[in-house]
């Protein structure tokens, strides 16, 4: 007792066995619910365990079984509500199946992600759930399969790595969002994202036989790749001459306002904006208000990500809502199946997005520049 309160090492199977008067192996069987033990002995062992306050040492168990009942999850930034929701979904599934989650933030840096993976593998996680920092850097993930561990990607895909993935139907969602604007009469539609992709998008565009826009090589984020592709496809189908003219990648967080202002008031004279996420949307919303324009009368604004605030502004913002939580949950389910033996070929699962139409889309207004300032 005093030993216990002094923070000493807790009781072990050997201690329990000694108190119960049986062999270590027997006590272990009774405690671990494996192998055959007579009812009488089991009870005796359990009583002994209770008396000593025995708590199984999972580290030791992992040591001999090679299984840790732990899953590694690597997200860009847990503060990002999308990742937080996906993590919650994964956590609930993992929890129900008896797994724990080791969380790492990559900060969207492939190098940081690489070390995070290394650390997690060292800790002998049974599998990994990853929102890839870059869809282009397949080399980050080979150590995982080399170590014989399964990995499931979520939210994003890695182009040249054969692994299960669960993503949202961004291409369809983007097409839908663009269509809403097109239907309202817009032709000058901008898309703003913070994705930092070095090379210009235009030169990589490839239009396939169905008139669908693809990129080669793909964009650094498969999400943005799908969205730009979907928007471009929709615009071109509607006969818009240069579908990629108003795509703005690589916006800096504190430069979004300026980017938006330029798009609206500059030569581009855009009449509507698609924000790639709610952070961009909020900056765009403020920028539009700051230059004295009104939504949807002067400018239409739509966005990905059904953030709480989009329903509370006046007007509410038309958005695409993402199945974030289910993304994480499904990825976790798939991963656990693989951990427990499933060896079917990897497939990419695509979860539908929903459009939530609110009041931020109206007909385009003729060039505004003159009336401003």
Which of a copy of itself, DNA, none binds 307 (CB below 5-8 Å, type-dependent)? a copy of itself
Least distance in Å: CB of 70 to DNA? Answer: 15
Which of DNA, a copy of itself, none binds 136 (CB below 5-8 Å, type-dependent)? none
Rule CB under 8 A: which of 210-269 touch a copy of itself?
none
d(CA 352, CA 323): 7
Give the N- to C-terminal CA distance of the chain in Å, as an integer.
79
Q: Which is nearer to a copy of itself, 207 or 309 (CB)?
A: 309
φ, ψ of residue 333 to 5 degrees: the values are -60, -45
Q: Which of 64, 203, 216, 373 binds DNA (CB under 7 A)?
A: 64
d(CA 232, CA 196): 19
Rule CB under 7 A: which of 33-52 touch DNA?
34-38, 40-41
Q: What are the strands, taking DSSP E only, across the chain?
A: 70-75, 100-105, 127-130, 151-154, 164-168, 189-192, 205-207, 213-215, 247-248, 272-275, 300-304, 318-321, 348-351, 354-356
d(CA 103, CA 101): 6
* 3 state DSSP class of 135: coil
Q: Which of 14, 50, 96, 354 binds DNA (CB under 7 A)?
A: 14
Least distance in Å: CB of 55 to a copy of itself? Answer: 6
**Residue 209 CB partners (closer than 8 Å, separation 6+):** none
Rule CB under 8 A: which of 57-76 touch a copy of itself?
57-60, 62-63, 66, 68, 70
Does position 33 interact with a copy of itself (CB under 8 A)? The reply is no
d(CA 351, CA 334): 14
CB-based burial label for 261 (10 Å; 0-12, 13-18, 19+): middle
d(CA 20, CA 22): 6
Beta-carbon-side half-sphere exposure of residue 181 (alpha carbons within 13 Å): 34
Rule CB under 8 A: which of 10-29 touch a copy of itself?
10
Least distance in Å: CB of 288 to a copy of itself? Answer: 11
Which of DNA, a copy of itself, none binds 292 (CB below 5-8 Å, type-dependent)? none
| DSSP letter for each residue of 209-230 | TTS-EEESSPPSSHHHHHHHHH
Least distance in Å: CB of 173 to DNA? Answer: 46
Joined together, the tokens standing for residue 285 give: 């919303």
d(CA 231, CA 209): 17
Which of a copy of itself, DNA, none binds 247 (CB below 5-8 Å, type-dependent)? none
Does position 121 interact with a copy of itself (CB under 8 A)? The reply is yes
Does position 32 interact with DNA (CB under 7 A)? The reply is yes
Does position 286 interact with a copy of itself (CB under 8 A)? The reply is yes
Does position 86 interact with DNA (CB under 7 A)? The reply is no
Does position 68 interact with DNA (CB under 7 A)? The reply is no
Which candidate, 372, 373, 364, places its Cα nearest to that of 182? 364
Least distance in Å: CB of 324 to a copy of itself? Answer: 9
Contact residues toward DNA (CB under 7 A) are: 9, 12-14, 22-26, 28-29, 31-32, 34-38, 40-41, 54, 56-57, 60-61, 63-66
Contact residues toward a copy of itself (CB under 8 A) are: 4-10, 53, 55-60, 62-63, 66, 68, 70, 77-79, 81, 84-85, 87-88, 91-92, 95, 100-105, 118-124, 143, 145-149, 278-279, 282, 285-286, 307-309, 312-314, 325
């Amino acid at each position: 007792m005093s030993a216990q309160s002094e923070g000493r090492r807790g009781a072990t199977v050997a201690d329990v066995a000694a108190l119960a008067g049986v062999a270590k192996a027997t006590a272990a069987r009774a405690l671990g619910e494996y192998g055959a033990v007579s009812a009488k002995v089991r009870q005796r062992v359990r009583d002994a365990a209770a008396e000593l306050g025995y708590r199984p040492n999972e580290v030791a168990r992992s040591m001999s079984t090679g299984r840790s009942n732990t899953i590694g999850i690597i997200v860009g930034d847990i503060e990002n509500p999308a990742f937080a929701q996906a993590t919650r979904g994964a956590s609930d599934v993992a929890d129900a199946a008896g797994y724990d989650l080791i969380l790492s933030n990559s900060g969207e840096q492939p190098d940081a992600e690489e070390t995070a993976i290394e650390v997690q593998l060292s800790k002998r996680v049974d599998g990994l759930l990853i929102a890839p920092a870059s869809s282009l850097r397949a080399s980050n993930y080979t150590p995982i399969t080399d170590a014989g561990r399964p990995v499931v990607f979520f939210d994003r895909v890695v182009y040249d790595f054969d692994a299960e993935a669960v993503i949202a139907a961004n291409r369809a969602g983007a097409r839908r969002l663009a269509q809403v604007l097109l239907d309202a009469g817009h032709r000058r539609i901008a898309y703003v994202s913070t994705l930092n992709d070095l090379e210009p998008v235009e030169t990589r565009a490839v239009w396939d036989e169905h008139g669908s826009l693809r990129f080669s090589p793909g964009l650094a984020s498969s999400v943005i790749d799908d969205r730009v592709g979907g928007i471009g496809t929709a615009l071109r189908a509607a006969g818009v001459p240069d579908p990629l003219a108003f795509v703005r990648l690589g916006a800096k967080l504190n430069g979004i306002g300026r980017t938006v202002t330029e798009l609206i008031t500059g030569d581009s004279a855009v009449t509507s904006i698609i924000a790639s996420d709610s952070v961009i949307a909020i900056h765009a919303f403020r920028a539009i208000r700051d230059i004295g324009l009104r939504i949807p009368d002067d400018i239409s604004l739509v966005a990905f990500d059904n953030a709480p605030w989009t329903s509370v502004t006046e007007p509410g913002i038309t958005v695409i809502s993402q199945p974030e939580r289910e993304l994480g949950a499904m990825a976790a389910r798939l991963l656990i199946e693989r951990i427990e033996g499933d060896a079917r070929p990897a497939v990419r699962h695509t979860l539908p997005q929903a459009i939530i139409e609110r009041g931020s889309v109206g007909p385009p207004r003729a060039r505004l520049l003159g009336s401003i300032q």
